[in-house]
């Protein structure tokens, strides 16, 4: 046995195409735009929450610094 496997023959960009093909086969071409839209909304909400959390943490630290 030569000790070679499929991962040795497939570089980075090819994995992206394989994943895209697998997603199309699993979900179907009509569902992909809907999934992308949902993912985009979820990412936006995550970013809003992250910004809000950072703002609250900054406000809390400022309040603590004033009381010291």
Q: Answer yes or no: are the C-beta atoms of 20 and 13 closer than 8 Å.
A: no
| Residue 51 falls inside a structural domain | yes
Distance between CA atoms of 5 and 40, rounded to whole angstroms? 35
Distance between CA atoms of 36 and 43, rounded to whole angstroms? 10
Distance between CA atoms of 32 and 51, rounded to whole angstroms? 28
What is the reported pTM?
A: 0.54
| Residue 19 falls inside a structural domain | no
Q: Which domain holds residue 52?
A: 33-68
What domain count does the chain have? 1
Total number of residues shown for the chain? 68
| 13-32 pLDDT per residue, tens | 787 888 888 888 888 888 88
| Residue 5 falls inside a structural domain | no
Mean of pLDDT over the chain: 83
């Amino acid at each position: 046995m030569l000790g070679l496997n499929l991962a040795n023959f497939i570089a980075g960009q090819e994995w992206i195409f394989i994943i895209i093909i697998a997603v199309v086969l699993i979900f179907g071409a009509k569902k992909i735009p809907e999934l992308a839209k949902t993912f985009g909304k979820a990412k936006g909400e995550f970013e809003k929450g992250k910004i809000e959390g950072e703002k609250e943490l900054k406000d809390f630290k400022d309040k603590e610094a004033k009381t010291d």
